[in-house]
Chains A and B, each alone.
Chain A
Amino acid sequence: MSQARFVRLAEKDRPAIHLTIDGIRVRAMQGDTLMIAMLTTGGTLRQSEFTDGKRAGFCLMGACQDCWVWTESGHRLRACSTLAEDGMSVTTSQPGASWANHG
């Protein structure tokens, strides 16, 4: 996993929670959105389906839809407006999707 992107500036004494991202267990904090949990432990959220680049969200307010991730059952989540919960497991590419436009 690449280097963390976001930097925590305050509210650092909240209880810890644990999530699994692409099979790797990471530590986050109660009250984090999924996006914050993922970007304080890694650098990106997902693979762009139109280029070979990665994406890490853009608006943080539910308007751009650049922050989609998936549960293991294929349910789509908007990382910037979904609360991270202890035990959650997400993947950064759509399960079962073939990247028709990719590359």
Chain B
Amino acid sequence: MGQPRVIIVGAGPAGVRAAETIVAAGLTPIVIDEGQRAGGQIYRRQPENFRRPYKDLYGTDSDRAKAVHDGFDALRDHIDYRAETLVWNIADGHVWTASGTAQDALAYDALILCTGATDRLMPMAGWDLPGTYSMGGAQVALKAQAVSIGSQVVFLGTGPLLYLVASQYIKAGAKVAAVLDTSRFTARITALPDLLSLPSVLWNGIMLTRAIKAVGVPLLTGVTPVAISGDAQTGVTGVTVRLSDGSDRHFAADAVAMGYHLRPETQLADLARCSFAFDELTRQYLPVRDPDGRAEAPTPLYLAGDGARVLGARSAEASGRLAALAALSDLGMPVDQGAMIMLRREVGRYGRFARGLAKAFPWPHQQAAALADDTILCRCECVTVGDVRRTMDVTGAAEANRAKAFSRVGMGRCQGRYCGHAAAEVIAAHGDFPVADAGRLRGQAPVKPLPIAIGEAE
């Protein structure tokens, strides 16, 4: 028998550290990533002909970014690295990949999913207008391509990325019209005990807020989004929010970056038939795994990084290592138990900090009930909030997958990545039951559209 085959999906901080751990045990893992260059989201690399130094790109995280990139580069000769390759399905104990028009199906003895996160979105009137981007997207524009999404940008939403990306824009010389947070400032005080579990990260966050205020950019907390205004052809012209005193305030802008923290990319875990459980604090279904990352699934499946639960980049590195050690141990290989104990402790600390973030920057679920019927819920197919409510009234559908079948919400090209959580809140609010009872949209293969040539060959 040859050596066991370990497959790692994702080459962000979690995937890189998992691969390193597998290589250190003498195995050659297959590492698959959709991107052109390894690094994942936070440590996304710019194209090779760009010249900006690490400090400009990654700020206080530049040493960590360099360590992850160097770590990966050192692994290149010891792993089977498949860049620009999409994992589009997991079925029958195989990982199904597509790269250009080439396809493959790979059996595995251990599968470690490090798929990362995408922005969590709450719809609002006008979010389908050209010029509206996800918070992460606004950051990608700057980090990977050195552009601003507009000549006057409003940052709207909540969570650490709101402040981080806005301050990165300011530092890069972009014009920021306003930073508008739906969370109240008092929530941060309630969250303080948990946030103090990582004082340096908390301090960095406070410094970002100061930097935004120092340059005179309006920074408002406790706002309620009212509408993005503009023209369907030419795009965004401004953003209106309601302040905590009940008055409305309009900011002129030609671009909006919006996001309410992040949500894990769990479609592959779902296809691998991992169990899911509802998380009350963040109001979403998350894959079930033990503290080491072992998933509750029929095949040897491990989950690490923000793709399992959003705990941030540092935790991603630790949980990637831990999941790889768990996989090695299950394969009957010797592992350093002491290291596992340390890593578990570390991941636990990040878990506490993430709990603080969830309290400080809560998902504004109450907005769903207040959305007007004509607000677009699904940007892909322009299904409105009213369409879903009417579907429920007519068919009695009171569960996300049934509502999806009848109204097409979540059936568009993004597979509900950007409307799924909000749709569940709309359904729960309209039916007047807990959001956990609205269920969740299932991951479906292909997790992203395949190149047409492959799709047709099917």
Closest CB in chain B relative to A97 CB, distance in Å: 13
SS class of chain B's interface: helix, strand, loop or mixed?
loop
Q: Which residues from 109 to 127 on chain B have a C-beta closer than 8 Å to any C-beta of chain A?
A: 118-119
Q: How far is the CA of A75 from the CA of B133 in the complex (A)?
A: 25
Given contacts A8-B147, A9-B147, A40-B147, contact A61 B232 (CB under 8 A): no
1/0 per residue A33-65: CB within 8 Å of B? 100100110011000101111111111111111
Does B367 have its Cβ within 8 Å of any Cβ on chain A? no
A59 and B50 within 8 A (CB): no
B140 and A61 within 8 A (CB): yes
Partner of A58 from B51, B133, B254, B448 at Cβ < 8 Å = B133
Partner of B235 from A5, A7, A33 at Cβ < 8 Å = A5
Among B19-27, B156-164, B331-339, B374-382, the stretch in contact with A: B374-382
Does B93 have its Cβ within 8 Å of any Cβ on chain A? no
Does B449 have its Cβ within 8 Å of any Cβ on chain A? yes
Does A24 have its Cβ within 8 Å of any Cβ on chain B? no
Does B148 have its Cβ within 8 Å of any Cβ on chain A? yes
Q: How far is the CA of A52 from the CA of B106 in the complex (A)?
A: 43
Does B452 have its Cβ within 8 Å of any Cβ on chain A? yes
Interface centre among A2, A10, A80, by most B CB within 10 Å?
A10
B172 and A9 within 8 A (CB): yes
Does B395 have its Cβ within 8 Å of any Cβ on chain A? no
Closest CB in chain B relative to A66 CB, distance in Å: 7
Among B310-318, B357-365, B412-420, the stretch in contact with A: B412-420
A54 and B232 within 8 A (CB): yes
Q: Which residues of the other chain, B, contact A6 by a CB distance below 8 angstroms?
A: 141, 147-150
Closest CB in chain B relative to A91 CB, distance in Å: 15
Closest CB in chain B relative to A38 CB, distance in Å: 12
Given contacts A56-B131, A64-B413, A65-B448, contact A7 B233 (CB under 8 A): no
1/0 per residue B188-206: CB within 8 Å of A? 0000000000000000000
Q: Which residues from 229 to 272 on chain B have a C-beta closer than 8 Å to any C-beta of chain A?
A: 232-235, 254-255, 265
Closest CB in chain B relative to A13 CB, distance in Å: 9
A11 and B52 within 8 A (CB): yes
- Of chain B, the residue at the smallest CB distance from A65 is B413
Q: How far is the CA of A102 from the CA of B297 in the complex (A)?
A: 43
Q: How far is the CA of A8 from the CA of B41 in the complex (A)?
A: 21
SS class of chain A's interface: helix, strand, loop or mixed?
loop
B146 and A48 within 8 A (CB): no
B47 and A31 within 8 A (CB): yes
Given contacts A9-B147, A11-B51, contact A66 B232 (CB under 8 A): no
Q: Which residues from 401 to 458 on chain B have a C-beta closer than 8 Å to any C-beta of chain A?
A: 412-414, 417-418, 448-449, 451-452
A43 and B130 within 8 A (CB): yes
Interface centre among A8, A65, A75, A83, by most B CB within 10 Å?
A65
Does B224 have its Cβ within 8 Å of any Cβ on chain A? no
Q: Which residues of the other chain, A, contact B52 by a CB distance below 8 angstroms?
A: 10-11
Given contacts A9-B172, A64-B379, contact A43 B137 (CB under 8 A): no
Q: Which residues from 161 to 185 on chain B have a C-beta closer than 8 Å to any C-beta of chain A?
A: 172-174
A65 and B449 within 8 A (CB): yes
B150 and A14 within 8 A (CB): no
A7 and B414 within 8 A (CB): no
Partner of B255 from A5, A36, A52 at Cβ < 8 Å = A5
Closest CB in chain B relative to A37 CB, distance in Å: 10
Closest CB in chain B relative to A51 CB, distance in Å: 5
Q: Which residues of the other chain, A, contact B39 by a CB distance below 8 angstroms?
A: none
Given contacts A6-B141, A54-B233, A57-B137, contact A62 B448 (CB under 8 A): yes
Q: How far is the CA of A81 from the CA of B47 in the complex (A)?
A: 12
Does B134 have its Cβ within 8 Å of any Cβ on chain A? yes
A11 and B50 within 8 A (CB): yes
A58 and B134 within 8 A (CB): yes
Q: How far is the CA of A39 from the CA of B234 in the complex (A)?
A: 12
A10 and B130 within 8 A (CB): no
Interface centre among A6, A57, A64, A80, by most B CB within 10 Å?
A64
B233 and A63 within 8 A (CB): no
B136 and A33 within 8 A (CB): no
Partner of A5 from B131, B146, B412, B414 at Cβ < 8 Å = B131
Q: Which residues of the other chain, B, contact A14 by a CB distance below 8 angstroms?
A: 49-50
- Nearest 4 pairs between A and B by C-beta? A53-B232, A65-B413, A56-B130, A60-B137
Can you report 27 residue pairs joining A to B where beta carbons are below 8 Å apart?
A3-B234, A5-B255, A6-B147, A6-B149, A9-B172, A9-B174, A12-B146, A14-B49, A31-B48, A31-B49, A33-B144, A44-B235, A51-B382, A53-B128, A58-B132, A58-B133, A58-B134, A58-B137, A59-B119, A59-B136, A60-B140, A60-B141, A63-B448, A64-B380, A65-B380, A65-B412, A65-B448
Binding site for B on A (CB under 8 A): 2-3, 5-12, 14, 30-33, 36, 39-40, 43-44, 48, 50-66, 75-76, 80-81, 83
19 other A-B residue contacts (CB within 8 Å) besides A31-B49, A64-B380, A65-B412: A2-B233, A3-B234, A6-B148, A6-B150, A9-B142, A9-B172, A9-B173, A11-B50, A12-B146, A43-B130, A44-B235, A48-B128, A59-B119, A59-B136, A59-B418, A60-B137, A61-B137, A76-B451, A76-B452
